[in-house]
Structure 1
């Protein structure tokens, strides 16, 4: 039996419980920044399922109960956070493969661009669930990032990007998903490889 699901941020536990062992769940995982991709899971028992991302056309409508909140969160004050240089600008969020990795690293974040009073166009990455933020600003030929809150978002993105590059920058089909009771992970290579937690709704 194959269960075809809508666009979701994680796999609802009810889907696993209601699918017979060896049954298949086919769903598009999507973060608030971008679509991650089509994942095919095989149900092992009433609480667990495992599978990989596969080639396929994702759906574009996210399930209503998992949609992003209307508020993006509060813009950080100009004096809030710490600033450093970064080798990565906002283009990593917009490119397909690196954007996939960034979404895994920052599962509750969204981003947008907005000009400052001096005309500089900054990119804001905001996590409305915990008020963490990163602000990317052009600095000559490079970029600076100012970040703060309980999670340093850009540090997380860069750490995940480094893991991905170390593995040879593979495509989404090299990533898999494990679902257990109360925990869901996306992993790279094998289930014991680097992994990222999916948000539990």
Structure 2
């Protein structure tokens, strides 16, 4: 059991488990969203489990902390109407999904805008109110809002369940968070 959050399960934790052993921790990231997971090691060396749905979080373990980035200067880029309300990111599960979709991004918000900045590439996206909805501006090599919007749309189409509908599979090489069942919609954690 860990009382700090991690961006992904350290391999050394897996190596300490035998069949039936468990890991309980919070998965978090640079957007500071989190989900409490309990994983059980299978006989094949794969750990699987479901998120509890509890709204709990811990600070990130030091090796998993985000690197410093320069002050935000919004750059012009492509502009379009959003397909989802940016307020979905303010919900517990919506925030978690945004983090899964853009794992190297940080999140900031103002009273009427959501701002995403990718620490690795400098890509950015920000929303602003428009006539009957929202406009999003994106700049850089990663289409951050497109990634987040896709995850939020998938979640809404599944009925917008809480985190207990999500699970995780961890192998020595990959770490996947999935919705519903292991073969459902999924997102890879950075390893």
Q: TM-score, normalised by structure 1?
A: 0.85
Larger Rg: 1
**What is the distance in 2 between the residues matched to 1:140 and 1:155?**
21
Map of 1:42-191 to 2, 5 A cutoff?
42-45=40-43, 47-56=45-54, 58-71=56-69, 75-78=73-76, 81-113=77-109, 122-191=113-182
Aligned length: 191
Query: 1:76-109, CA deviations, whole angstroms, 9 ceiling, x for partnerless residues?
Result: 423xx21001143432222212212212111111
Q: Which ranges of structure 1 fall in alignment gaps of 5 or more residues?
A: 116-120
Quick one: structure 1 residues 105 and 192, their matched pair in 2 at CA, closer, same or farther if it must change by over 3 Å?
Answer: same
Q: Does the Cα contact within 8 Å between 2:33 and 2:92 map onto a contact in 1?
A: no
1:195 has 2:186 as partner: yes
Q: Which moved more, 1:83-92 or 1:176-185?
A: 83-92
SS state at 1:102 partner:
helix
- Residue matched to 2:8: 10
Q: What TM-score does the superposition give when structure 2 sets the normalisation length?
A: 0.89
- The alpha-carbon distance between structure 1 residues 56 and 145, as it changes in their structure 2 partners (threshold 3 A), is closer
**Quick check: 1:21–1:43 contact (8 Å CA) kept in 2?**
yes
| 2:9 match: secondary structure | coil
How much does 1:40 deviate? 0.2
Alignment of 1:26-45 (within 5 A): 26-45=24-43
Q: Decide whether aligned partners of structure 1 residues 98 and 57 sit closer, same or farther in structure 2, where only a CA change above 3 A counts.
A: closer
Runs ≥4 in structure 1, deviation > 6 angstroms?
A: none
Cross-structure match for 1:118: none
Q: Structure 2: how far apart are the matches of 1:166 and 1:123? A: 22
Give secondary structure in 2 for the equivalent of 1:52. Answer: strand
Question: What are the ranges of 5 or more consecutive residues in structure 2 without an aligned counterpart?
Answer: none
